[in-house]
């Protein structure tokens, strides 16, 4: 890395698998959170409910985001589907900035895009998903 640069947490580095469908993740997994005894909530949204995925014929996949139960901080994210390896960057940024579920709720996601699944997953974590 670069001398003088801020040290990054290893968990903040996204993992990307270039296969079909693409697979990407950043941060903690549910198993790690359970093993560490961390209370969390899950938001999940399927690609099949996205207009962009329907239009492109790429409806296989989902976005899953893990949030701290008490403060709503992003703990991890997992995406399987078209452009997952691109979409995971938003979640890496959320981890680096210690963003919360409310921060993502407040972020406007263009329509129709695959990135809408991130917004919808945050809504699902609070029981307010609009399209599924």
The catalytic site residues sit at 111
Structure tokens, 120? 């919808």
Residue 51 CB contacts under 8 Å (≥ 6 apart), including other chains: 111, 112
Query: In Å, what is the CA distance from 129 to each residue of 15, 58, 64, 77, 121?
Result: 27, 21, 13, 17, 7
Token pair 């329907």 in the structure block, residue: 54
């Amino acid at each position: 890395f670069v001398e003088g640069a801020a040290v990054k947490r290893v968990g903040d580095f996204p993992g990307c698998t270039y296969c079909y469908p693409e697979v990407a993740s950043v941060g903690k997994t549910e198993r790690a959170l359970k093993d560490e005894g961390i209370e969390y909530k899950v938001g999940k949204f399927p690609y099949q409910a996205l207009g962009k995925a329907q239009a492109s014929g790429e409806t296989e996949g989902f976005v899953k985001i893990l949030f701290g139960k008490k403060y709503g901080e992003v703990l991890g994210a997992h995406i399987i589907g078209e452009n997952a390896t691109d979409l995971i960057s938003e979640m890496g940024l959320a981890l680096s900035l210690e963003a919360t579920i409310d921060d993502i709720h407040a972020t406007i996601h263009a329509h129709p895009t695959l990135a809408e699944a991130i917004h919808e997953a945050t809504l699902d974590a609070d029981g307010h998903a609009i399209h599924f």
